[in-house]
Structure 1
Amino acid sequence: MRPAVLGGTPAFDEPLPLIRPALPDDADLPARIGAVLDSGMITNAVEVRRFEQVTAEYLGVPNVVAVSNCTTGLMLLLRCLDVGGPVVVPSFTFIASGHAVRWNGLPVVFADSDPRTATIDPASVPDGGFSAILATHTYGSPCAVDELSARAEQAGAVLLFDAAHGFGARYPDGSMVGSKGLAEVFSLSPTKTLTTGEGGLVTTGDDELARQLRVARDYGNPGNYDSVLLGLNGRMTEIAALLGTAALPRFPGWLEQRHHLVERYVKSLAGVPGLSFQEIPAGAVSSYKDFTVRVGADFGLTRDELADCLRAERISTRAYFDPPLHRQTVYADVPAGPLPGTEELARTMITLPLSTRLAAAAVDRVCDAITRVHEHGTEIAQTLRRTE
């Protein structure tokens, strides 16, 4: 069977989306939402307190502060900590990581990422001259936390984690992502493993920091309308919190399903020349917010050419993260040294469809399409490059 890009029949009749959000379907959920609406308290009230409590128990952390989204959580965290100097951020990350730093008026220092793990390379963190490290659990795989902790301690800096992708992941010691560094910040947007529509969570073992964050998310108002810091409206809605609380009991099963689908992908694609997968640290567990594959030279086509072929098959993909931060227009004024790992990742990584609702048969069809593209690689390359 010929690939669709060469005139064959597409693998899917309808476009296969990259993700589909997993949402609770409790029979009593509409009534619970109605009760919230009837109460007249529709933001930052009893449901938010309940959601913070159940997620703290699930993650095994002392404090969870619910916020309107992960970006706001990162912005408020840096503000509450009164970080006054440069912040080290991997260039291979989502836009929000760097934006939160610059919104606070702080200089960004770009670090490189390891092409094998796709997470920040501790060796690329400078010996000093910075106030904080903001590391990302890329695609849901935990960072090298011990090495980063040593780097931060050596520099007298705080270690923070943009854990946007990481809800449900575990560090090699078995502890949940959310329990390391001074604080970690999760995203609950529709693309994440646990979603409340929009929303975020800040976890910390520092009680005073948690107290400050709760004030900061309400404009810096401690309750008497005499603001004590420059906060934001970072409050979570009651309905978002209710969705999160309802989803959490189902979440372990959803996470297990994601792992089964990833295992199916890896088993089917492991023999295809030129394809390799993100290395997860020994003993760690990824949340697999994304399943992403590196496309090497032996595949016979570039990452972008493979994406074109899969588009013809009606399979959605994404090039996370290309361009990386240091090549984005808004960061053109930020000095950046050589970042070879970042450049390799940005050039070669392709994200394939993955969600709790994805059927195993759909994974098989995606893998079959990729295999057929490789088998016809020479002809496809000639066809695509002839039209450039």
Structure 2
Amino acid sequence: MFISIDLATLRLCSVLACVTFAIIFVALWRGRSDQLHHAHWAASLLLYCVALAGLEWIYLPEDVMIRALLVTALTASNILVVTGVRLFAKRPLWRWWMGIPPAATLIGFLLPHLVRLMGGSLPSESEQVLGAMGLALGMGVFGLDIMRQSRRAVPHGYGGRIAGLTMMAYIPCYLYAIVGEVLHLATPGTLATAALLSDQLLLMLLNLGLIAMPAESALAALRESTWRDGLTRVYNRAWLATNEHTLLRAGTWLAHIDVDHFKSINDRYGHAAGDAALVGLARALTMATEECETRRAGHAVRMGGDEFLVIMPEASLPAAQRLAHDVRAAISRLGPFEWTVSTGLAGVEPEDRSFSDVIERADRQLYAAKLAGRNRVAA
């Protein structure tokens, strides 16, 4: 099938593509020297280039060890891709299992020759089959780890997933080569030709996926900053407007919290003291949402001024009441002066058409708590 394809030209195309992306990664690294993951990805491509350029010896029978090391380098180059992703995700760079695919590739490639040296024999295609199995193992193991680590680094991103899936997409070409060798349907250069043909598409997708990861992370950080209140760092109205459709479901409870006599705090102690009270309240709300008795983490939102919401998905009225009382207890320990909060609770009901309906009911309960003497919870 691949007899008419020029293997040297395919190899040159792959080398040029690697050099191009290596230059891009080096430029990105030089622009931001703290982003060492770009250096790892550039080093991976350069090692891949060296291995491809050296594979002109692959058909020289006297250079068995050189051929084995070059094929192993193809697998080992993917370790640097993984360490770059792990560095980006702030995970440990090295794990013991990373050495298994290169070792398997090296041993698989050399095994037929070692058996012949000991007087035994293996089928003529064993070198290609065992080497391809090591390469396929590496693509599968490293591709899965890239997907796992990229989800941790950019939970809603696609760049790392594309990179991991692209690496795993090399596996079918290796399996094709293995089946072709076993069934004697392949030419001697089938493995190299299939891999290099795959390179023409997959190498570009892999590196574009890696490039997309930092961009997605920066975009997510920018979006997150626009969703955070500048003073208290809890979520703001913009976040609520974006996510209210996911919050409007049965089992979600809402606490509407307001500082009692907040204007008098500003008038008596100054606006700096008022800001400190808001920051302290936001911190108490954040800690309460992390410790609340719900199946999913809660969210604290500043609606403006001294008004806050605590949204508790998959909660219950008793859980919402405990959270409100925990917040009041935390406020009483803050100091340096005495101040209190009032809280109104409401849950999502089947007839609610928007989250504003829930907020309105919680606001009515908050007003009831104020009328009842403040520093209390109404539901």
- Fold conserved (TM > 0.5)? no
Bigger relative contact order, structure 1 or 2 (CA pairs below 8 A, ≥6 apart): 1
Structure-2-length-normalised TM-score? 0.25
> Between Structure 1 and Structure 2, which shows a larger proportion of strand residues?
1
> Between Structure 1 and Structure 2, which shows a larger proportion of helix residues?
2
